[in-house]
Amino acid sequence: MHSSRDDSPEEELRATIEQAVHGKSAAGQPTSPVPPVGEQPTVSLRDAGATPPGDLSDTVAETIPSLSTLGGGADATHFGDYEILGEIARGGMGVVFKARQKRLNRTVALKMILAGQLASTADIKRFYTEAEASAQLDHSGIVPIYQVGQHGSQHFFSMAFIDGQSLQDRLMEGPLPPREAAEMLAQVADAVRFAHSKGIVHRDLKPHNILLDADGKSKVTDFGLARRMDGGEGLTNTGDVMGTPSYMAPEQAAGQTHEQGPLVDVYALGAVLYATLTGRPPFQAASLAELLRQVIHQEPAAPTLVNAAIPPDLDTICLKCLHKDPQRRYVSAKELQGDLLRFLRGEPIAARPIGKVERASRWCRRNPLVAGLAATTASLLVVGVLASSYFAVRERQRANEAQTNFNNAEKERRRADAKSAESARNLATAERLRGRAEQLAYSSQLALSYREWELGDVEHSPPGCDTLATMKSWKKSPTAAWGSFSKLGRLPSTGSSP
């Protein structure tokens, strides 16, 4: 929007409406809608490859009515039964004004298609789908629709004006306190539960589409991508990627339209909770392609790693919502709401923390390259350890066998030494016995010789008696004979010396 310093407020508003409704600046040049700071617009990859038109000034002049025609006069602040008071917000498809409905004298939010007459059939259909879906949902947590219609060539619908700010604007100030975040999300989950009970899936839940009124109550708005669960006609085909990338479920990012049921909203609720607790969405990237890759394949960092003050139960609730596998999320928004209320009451929650195995698996999915290198290194280490262990066991077995053989040999040696000692003892005993026997035999011979000597028959001493000479000398010297017997320890039985 271009305006000089001398423009009056009415002229500035007129220029704003001219730009928003017709896509032109006050100078008459085509403009491109720019999302507010911090807001991530809803995207469609189906249209991403379309070539933008060239100079549309002639086409705009021919197809879009002048502002005075749209407003029914020269006063640009009037649009049919509505007096436009100012712009509230704009997105990729529509622009929302604050307006006063003159007939009922009430303040409303007035939404129009941003492209005006240049809007495609699909844009118009999506616009009315949003109005129809919202009109069917009478819930305190959903912004109600008042009127749907067309004024001139411009399609519009009016809804309740929420005097407050969006959750996106609130998060620009920083994360919410954990308890406040849980209370807010419990209200949103209840509204989403009600929408699901009426067969409607939102498919674009994000902080910008959650309004906070003056009392801090949450209101869900913008059902532009809503889809009926009864299999009715939809606005997207298989392969279309519709939604806000940082808050869309993996099945949405992959364009799996047939799988986009209530669980995509459960995922989005978890992403919103993540943002309220940490101040940022679960995934961020410099390019849309990289962001979609992260959403589909990468696991989010645990909220407690971003903000250590987050209670573990809220961390568990958040990560359960954000599970890649839809079947491992909360089965419904109602079940999610129940766990949030249990947390607020200080009761144990139903969700269980991620186990060590699951945590390791998620880490590997977040860091595939590092995980691959770590797995390769670990495999090599395991192989090395196993090989080392094998050879160590073999060497130990061989050492044990050698020790056993040595012990057996030592036992045999000791046994042989014992037998040798025993043999030596036996030999010594035999020698003593032999000597004793020889001594006894010798003594007997001496006794016999002595007897013969006493009888004087020295010549008839026993044959072989080696004392014969000695006995012969005894005839000459009986005292010498007695001494010889005394030395041999064998005295005659007479008991007296000669």
Which residues are known to be catalytic? Answer: 204
Which residue is it, tokens 């012969």? 472
Q: How many CA atoms lie within 13 A of 123 on its CB side?
A: 20
The tokens describing 229, both together, are 């669960």
List the beta bridge partners of residue 211. Answer: 166, 219
The tokens describing 412, both together, are 């045999």
Q: Quick one: angle between helices 178-197 and 312-321, nearest 10?
A: 30
Closest CA to 142 of 156, 160, 127: 160
Q: How far is CA 38 from the centre of its chain?
A: 29
d(CA 221, CA 223): 6
Q: Which amino acid is at 43?
A: V
Closest CA to 196 of 167, 226, 241: 226
Which residue is it, tokens 């602040």? 77
List, in sequence order, every beta strand (DSSP E) within 94-220: 94-101, 106-113, 145-151, 154-160, 165-166, 200-201, 210-212, 218-220
List the beta bridge partners of residue 157. Answer: 111, 148
Alpha helices in 1-144 (DSSP H): 9-22, 57-63, 67-71, 121-135
Q: Which amino acid is at 184?
A: M
Query: What phi and psi, each to the nearest 5 degrees, are found at residue 481?
Result: -65, -45
Non-local CB neighbours of 469 within 8 Å, separated by 6+ positions: none
d(CA 84, CA 99): 4
Query: Strand pairing of 210-212 and 218-220?
Result: antiparallel
d(CA 96, CA 80): 16
List the beta bridge partners of residue 147. Answer: 158
| DSSP secondary structure code for residue 245 in this structure | G
- Report the alpha-carbon angle 14-15-17, nearest 5: 65
Non-local CB neighbours of 333 within 8 Å, separated by 6+ positions: 189, 190, 192, 193, 196, 262, 265, 266, 269
Q: How many CA atoms lie within 13 A of 250 on its CB side?
A: 16
Non-local CB neighbours of 284 within 8 Å, separated by 6+ positions: 246, 291
